[in-house]
């Protein structure tokens, strides 16, 4: 009896996983679609930004451990005009060269919600961090002052959730000689 329940649970888990993958289709986003149509393709929005008149930017983040955030721009009629996966080195480079001392809301408009926020230590403020698709174990970090302005344009750091031993630090070689 227990084996039957275990098999049923495995089958249900596989079905749920297949369904989730089948409904996540950012490659099918097209200009002119409604927000409801985009939501059917990639799930519920995680944020909304109205930084510029007549444009609503809708965020579809995959969570704090996710490495993907889609931003979809809607015109005043609620139709898609532009869309992009924004967690990438091109976007980070633009932030590094153009966003120093800018308002943190512009950063959220550009990259979406950070995957991690921590205190800025003795300097105050906060450090916002985003994971992104990379073969290295990096994340992009920006310091935000208490005033809400960006201290800097950001930098890359090693994601602390990575296996420290794989970088040759904090454990060294294992085994005897």
Looking at the predicted structure, is the pLDDT value of residue 2 above 80?
no
Q: For position 166, what pLDDT does the model report?
A: 52
pLDDT digits (tens, 9 = 90+) for 31-61: 999 999 999 999 999 999 998 899 999 999 9
- Cβ neighbour number for residue 88 with a 10 Å cutoff: 17
Q: For position 14, what pLDDT does the model report?
A: 46
Q: For position 3, what pLDDT does the model report?
A: 67
Reported pTM: 0.76
CATH number attached to the domain at 87-163:
3.30.1450.10
Domain positions in the chain are 24-85, 87-163
Q: What is the rounded distance in angstroms from the CA atom of residue 150 to the CA atom of residue 124? A: 12
Q: For position 164, what pLDDT does the model report?
A: 60
pLDDT digits (tens, 9 = 90+) for 110-167: 999 999 999 988 888 999 999 998 888 899 999 999 999 999 889 999 988 886 655 4
Looking at the predicted structure, is the pLDDT value of residue 6 above 90?
no
Q: For position 51, what pLDDT does the model report?
A: 81
Looking at the predicted structure, is the pLDDT value of residue 25 above 70?
yes
Residue 107, helix vs strand vs coil: helix
Q: Among residues 27, 32, 62, which one has the least CA distance to residue 45? A: 62
Torsions phi, psi for 81 (to 5 deg): -115, -25
Note whether 24-85 and 87-163 share their fold.
yes
CATH level 3 topology of 24-85: Beta-lactamase Inhibitory Protein; Chain:B, domain 1 (3.30.1450)
Question: In this predicted model, which residue has the larger pLDDT, 94 or 152?
Answer: 94
Q: For position 160, what pLDDT does the model report?
A: 87
Give CA 93 to chain center in angstroms. Answer: 16
């Amino acid at each position: 009896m227990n084996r039957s329940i275990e098999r049923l649970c495995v089958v249900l888990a596989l079905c749920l996983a297949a369904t989730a993958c089948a409904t996540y289709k950012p490659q099918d986003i097209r200009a002119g679609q409604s927000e409801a149509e985009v939501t059917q393709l990639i799930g519920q929005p995680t944020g909304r930004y109205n930084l510029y008149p007549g444009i609503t930017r809708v965020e579809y983040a995959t969570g704090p451990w996710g490495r993907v955030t889609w931003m979809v721009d809607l015109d005043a009629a609620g139709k898609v005009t532009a869309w992009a996966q924004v967690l990438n080195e091109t976007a980070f480079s633009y932030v590094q060269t153009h966003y120093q001392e800018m308002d943190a809301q512009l950063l959220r408009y550009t990259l979406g919600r950070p995957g991690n926020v921590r205190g800025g230590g003795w300097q105050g403020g906060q450090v916002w961090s985003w994971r992104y698709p990379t073969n290295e174990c990096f994340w992009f970090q920006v310091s935000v002052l208490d005033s809400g302005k960006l201290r800097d344009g950001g930098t890359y750091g090693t994601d602390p959730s990575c296996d420290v031993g794989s970088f040759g630090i904090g454990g060294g070689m294992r085994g005897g000689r």
